[in-house]
Structure 1
Amino acid sequence: MTSDLERRARLLGPHMTTFYREPVHVVRGQGVWLWDKDGRQYLDCYNNVPHVGHCHPRVVEAICRQAGALNTHTRYVHDMILDYGEALTAKFGHDLDSLVMVCSGSEANDVALRMAQAMTGKTGVIGTDNTYHGNTAAVSQLNSSKVPVGGYQDHVRQVPAPDNMAPVGGSLEGQAEAFARGVEKAVAELDASGHGVSALIVCPYFANEGFPTLERGFLDRAIAAVRKAGGLIIADEVQPGFGRIGSHWWGHERLGFAPDIVTLGKPMGNGHPVAAVVTRPEILTCFQEAFRYFNTFGGNPVSAAAAMAVLQVIEDEALVENACDVGAYAVGLLQELQARHDVIADVRGAGLFFGAELWRDGTPATGLCAAMVDEMRDRGVLLHSVGRHSNTLKVRPPCVFSRENADQLVDVMDAALGAVT
């Protein structure tokens, strides 16, 4: 592994990230399983990119079949992007009938910000202070983990993110109102500075913020403040979308709000690089008139075929229902585990996106959480951490995850907690 890592550092740079103290050198995947180069099998409880399971045969076949027939860009007319666009937008309400296909969630959010600028004529954007929306020059201005070179630009405002253990405003009951006050303050500052408000962008599951438990309507007052100022609402569905949360296809449905723009990515093509921005026709037209945007690979026939296969598998294999059932079962198991381990301060989640927050002696147990991630890896289960203090174990597996898989996850977690605490 050392020579592999040295080669990786030389070719990809010394700071190219890897997971785990001892990185996993993967060579094969199937369903919820990964295998390393030594033949060891791992239960994948982390990767949401293979949404319908690693190397799903229907997705693989769709990619191969289309690649053998045609692959080109969208300046030629082809049916696959149209067929997929109709199938995808049928999953949305609120007149979200048009789309731009791109290659990554970062590109999708970059396009979404420009759509908001074109539609409003304003440049100010509001996000949370503990988020991630991608890595283009524009979108990286929203990220909280690393301050951009030269600092954050004046048109960006970050508001305190909701949190289960340290709620904004000091109480869970008052958190929605306190979050809204933060948004209202940002709106006032952007208006006073001359930027105005083009958009509020949020992941409706607040995934990178640590997926706090939020009631339906949590964003209503904040959204009203943005709309009153003329801004649009962007829902980044890259992580919660496509039925992962079990109760709904999209996170914004679960919170009960109507976005103007929705961005999609990671799970959309089951590992094939495909993403999209879904919006209302008038917003798309305004964007196209302002920016004349074109993406060479976005919406190519092979990407569209992969994405269509994913949609069909989700439906045919009832994966939204599976996420609901198995997720609830797994959270119940974690709650039982919580009763046996004092370091588990909170268990939460929806569908197949759940986890456990670790605290020790009244403080976030960041080091313990990191030790748990590595201990679980050593025991053949892959997951990771998230949250402001990186003290929450994040479980976000392929949506073919089963109750049996959940049993294995929690049994290993129980043993790992016993080993590291």
Structure 2
Amino acid sequence: MLKVNAFQPEHAESLGSTERHLIERRQRLLGPAYQLFYDNPLHLVRGAGTWLYDSDGRAYLDLYNNVASVGHSHPRVVEALSRQAAALNTHTRYLHEGVLDYAEKLLATMPAQLSNVMFTCTGSEANDLALRIARDYTGGTGVIVTRYAYHGMTAAIAELSPSVGDYVPLGRDVRVVDAPLHSPEDPQRTGRVFAAQVRAALADMQRHGIRPAALLVDTLFTSDGVFADPAGFLREAVEAVRAAGGVFIADEVQPGFGRTGTHMWGFQRHGLVPELVTMGKPMGNGHPLAGLTVRPEILERFGRNASYFNTFGGNPVSAAAGLAVLQVIEEEGLQNNALRVGALLKEGLEGVAREHASLGQVRGAGLFIGVDVLDAAGLPDGAAARRIVNLLRDEGMLIGVSGAQNNTLKIRPQLCFSAENVAQFLGALQRVLRLL
């Protein structure tokens, strides 16, 4: 997944001298592991709201970066960061009202059972910590994930992230299941089939003497190609895992913070209360802030015996940013905006798909939508998806790709995305599709 739509260094000769120089410096200083997006990489210098601006002043409508989820450089978040940084920034081993104010505000968005919060800097760390807690609580080691999942980059979590590629092997006690089906003609089939796969994975663990610890899923299955419907389909699978002694970890790094429109958190669409919920990316609107919420009885033994400390996780500046994000979502009505504008975007994309055979299913919830790209035989066409992404970049529209075949357009704009932005994007997509 990480190399999908990545810039290929051999194409550098087609770029301007400034970009070639920056790419050369980047490769020399950062090494080969880092990737750049797009055939023609972007040199960005500024962001505001739903727009990004390059070094030549050209504007790009951002339909990809959920990190700055309430809008790039939101003045409320910038002011909160600046004010707290000017006063104090230190770790969580000292008392500080701001950290506790943020913890209370964040927990208030969750079901009452999830009454403890722990802070990290990245979603990878949050999932790593959740895995440690789950294994400690259950006494198990087995984890079930989906076939093209991405949950992070630590050593333990990369082993639970098949989408990082075959070079990083899955853990011995990891079991993989297919992404949920999208079956509009038989909505209940989605839950039945997914639960059957989870039960088969649990049975395989039992045959190999592996005690299950957790089902870990991104509740919109965003890396698998975005599978949101029907709401509630996860319940049967979660019940199976719990019956086998495991817990449910809801990875809300991408689905959370009001993105689905109907709910603040993706797991709420399924009528579930997980044992642990992990968060990241949009939590600080670009400031490195992540964490997890957990039921106290799940955390009790781990907290008593292992304790926890993170030098930067949950520091006063991060807490100020996180609190500002929650206030902006609430006061600017961004969850409702995700519902309303997301419906316009999905309806518009469905209309475009009816006109162009190269587009297939349109799936998603709120402001997170996946659109399949197909070839003339109706099969996944990753090459065409990549071309669409790069042609849209040339139109000033930024999206990504998702799915095991790299053929799902991944559309994930800021929560402040507007009806005008929808029209701008759909117009550009129509122009691009006529070029295929």
- Deviation by residue 1:23-54 (Cα, 9 ceiling, x = unmatched): 10100000001001111111111100001100
1:370-394 Cα shifts (integer Å, max 9, x gaps) = 0000000001111111111111111
Q: Quick check: 118-127 or 185-194, which moved more?
A: 185-194
**C-alpha deviations, 1:353-412, integer Å up to 9, x for none?**
113211112211111110000000001111111111111111101111000000000000
2:244 to 229, 235, 252: 229
- CA-atom RMSD in angstroms: 1.6
Instruction: Pick which of 329-338 and 300-309 moved more.
Output: 329-338
Contact kept in structure 2, 1:31 and 1:55, CA below 8 Å: yes
Task: Name the residue aligned to 1:202.
Answer: 217
How far did 1:8 drift? 0.6
Correspondence list, 1:21-420, <5 A:
21-147=39-165, 151-164=169-182, 173-360=188-375, 361-419=377-435
Q: Take 1:146 and 1:350, find their aligned partners in 2: how far apart are those partners?
A: 25
Instruction: Please give the alpha-carbon distance, in whole angstroms, between the structure 1 residues aligned to 2:103 and 2:32.
Output: 40
Q: What is the CA–CA distance in structure 2 between the aligned matches of 1:112 and 1:148, rounded to whole Å?
A: 24
Q: Deviations over 1:62-111 (max 9, x none)?
A: 00000011100011111111110111001111510101000000000000
Query: Compared with structure 1, are the counterparts of its residues 330 and 149 closer, same or farther at alpha carbon in structure 2 (3 Å cutoff)?
Result: closer
2:380 and 2:73 map into 1 onto residues whose CA distance is 37
- Distance in 2 (alpha carbons) for counterparts of 1:145 and 1:263: 19
Distance 1:290 1:219 in 2: 33
1:113 partner amino acid: L
**Residue 290 and residue 121 in structure 1: after superposition, are their counterparts in 2 closer, same or farther (change >3 A)?**
farther
Deviation by residue 1:300-353 (Cα, 9 ceiling, x = unmatched): 000000000000000010000100010001111112212221111112221111
Moved more, 279-288 or 76-85: 279-288
Mean Cα deviation higher: 146-155 or 111-120: 146-155
Question: Relative to structure 2, which stretch is displaced further, 188-197 or 277-286?
Answer: 188-197
What TM-score, normalized to structure 2? Answer: 0.93
* SS class of match (1:125): strand
Q: Which runs of 4+ in 1 moved over 6 A?
A: none
Whichever residue aligns with residue 135 of structure 1, its letter is M
Which residue identity lines up with residue 337 of structure 2 in the other structure? N
Question: Shift of the alpha carbon at 1:146?
Answer: 3.6
353-362 or 306-315: bigger deviation: 353-362
Q: Counterparts of 2:204 and 2:275 in 1: how far apart (Å)?
A: 23
Aligned residue for 1:7?
A: 25
Q: TM-score, normalised by structure 1?
A: 0.96
SS at match of 1:68: helix
CA distance in 1, matches of 2:390, 2:165: 27
With over 3 angstroms needed to count, the CA separation of the structure-2 counterparts of 1:340 and 1:256, relative to structure 1, is same
Give the Å deviation of 1:171. Answer: 7.5
Counterpart of 1:229 in structure 2: which amino acid? A
Number of residue pairs matched by the alignment: 417
Maintained 8 Å contact 1:262/1:278: yes
Matches of 1:198 and 1:339 in 2, distance apart? 44
Deviation at 1:173, TM superposition (A): 5.0
Letter in 1 for 2:302: F
| Cα distance in 1, alignment partners of residues 105 and 311 from structure 2 | 22
Aligned to 1:20: 38
| Aligned partners of 2:188 and 2:233 also within 8 Å | no
The 8 Å contact of residues 375 and 416 in structure 1, kept in 2 or not, is answered as yes
State the 1:211 CA deviation: 1.1
Residues 165-209 of structure 1 show CA distances to partners (whole Å, capped at 9, x for unaligned) of 8x9xx9765332221121112112223333301110011111111
